[in-house]
Chains A and B, each alone.
Chain A
């Protein structure tokens, strides 16, 4: 899609599309207060895909709900396309589209009906709404299901419709809260393809995910959240580089043996299933050392390999490795 003049002139302005400053959200009061987000900062320039990565309860969704004007920040600032989400929610709402973790869809409505209604609500006239509906049904591959009630849609179809609804007004910014959680690989791939093509159109995307592979595939920048704070951030490559050049993977007979092996090697070893993974700047030396340690401990490895770190390794090193490796 060619840029209109209005959009083109926007490109020249270097303001970030999403700006978050010292954002805090506390639920409850007094002794029962739970700090879900404890003062985070980040900004996302136009056209970037920003991945907010973290386990359940890390605070990702809370951040998205505050940006989507659905949750009032306890303190701090958040701006979406330059509009303060607290002071100017209507302008903010016009500039973003949101597909939240729980797809908010009415099962009695038909897919085409929903898109058409939303197009009208966002200000398209009748003909424009019909065209936009058609366009989006094609994009998400739901043209055949437009006359079917949403209640009969599969989980993947609902997510795709939800995504289409979020895109209805050509938003500059898209919030995707765990867009592929619970989807089969084919549906996940379809969402990934759609997000990638949005990048080409210059849409700024904030994506939360528990899947490191997803962030690695899609995101230009990643922030890893744990306990309401950003534990690490950077490009996926930066984060991986910070882990050292190599990862020593040792395959063991079962998970129990893996746990014993990790205990023998030390805190730098992370357990992943029946493997242990050790980050290293000098892979070959560490590999020899690990094999020696295991031999002394009387543990027989099933296989040993040297590979590149993945975002999983970053994530595991930042969070409690043994807890997450279960």
Chain B
């Protein structure tokens, strides 16, 4: 008889790595059972891709400097970036577990506290990658053609993931802090101005002066310009570095916040 044949107690809990894997798999199946939570964000991204390409794809906008002749190449980064909001699934699942009491049950088990939160963040990352890949594939099917080639596709996915991790951190921090799904979701709305006060549908120099002023300090701008440079120009180090810095700082801030909130929330009251 092995030590863990079911009739005897195991000697120690699963390793932290195994815990993270098992808990992430649970969260994935949970998300798949609740498609109504995931589908809207994906649908909005697809909707953007079709409507804005439909509206501007054959218009004079296509010939604006900075758009590069193919509006799809210009708008695809917007929809890919939008799909990365799905990284918020990280916080949402934690809030749901808080509400059902399953979170507390996990805390009463000999689990690594970090495993519980990391599994949620990993779920956010997987969501972002799946949604961004779907949007990306759709864009390619419709005729987008990245100047940087296949590497450009991977670069776009990487930027989506980076931005998505920012949302994951933000959602974990607000979700665990409020313990309320509605409040956590409402918190996402502060990102709408951030998303749209940027050169979303038109290049920077076509925007009204006041929007330009805000867009210049909006990290979304640098994310978009980095992704667009890959689509339209090829590999442009300065654009990529600015995007990396913008996304990296955003993710660093929110994930630090998330770790702090998670520490206090997984400690005993």
Contact = CB atoms under 8 A, between A and B. Distances in A.
Contact of A132 (B6, B106, B107, B269): B6
Interface in A75-132: 90-91, 93-94, 98, 100, 102-109, 113, 117-125, 127-132
Given A71-B268, A117-B22, A121-B14, A128 B6 contact: yes
Interface in A114-159: 117-125, 127-135, 149
Contacts of A295: none
Interface residues of B, number: 38
Interface residues on A, range: 35 or more
B109 interface: yes
Given A70-B104, A100-B101, A123 B10 contact: yes
A119 B22 CA distance: 11
B268 A70 contact: yes
Contact of B4 (A69, A94, A108, A124): A124
Interface in B92-109: 96-97, 100-109
A90 B16 CA distance: 13
Contacts of A98: 105, 108
A170 interface: yes
A208 B8 CA distance: 27
A68 interface: yes
B10 A100 contact: no
Interface string B1-42: 010111111111110001100110010011001100000000
B9 A169 contact: yes
Contacts of B8: 4, 170
A194 interface: no
B34 A108 contact: yes
B111 A121 contact: yes
Contacts of A237: none
A127 B18 CA distance: 16
Interface of A: 1, 4, 68-72, 90-91, 93-94, 98, 100, 102-109, 113, 117-125, 127-135, 149, 165, 169-171
Q: Which 7 A-B pairs have the closest CB atoms?
A: A131-B6, A123-B10, A104-B105, A104-B101, A170-B9, A128-B4, A72-B268
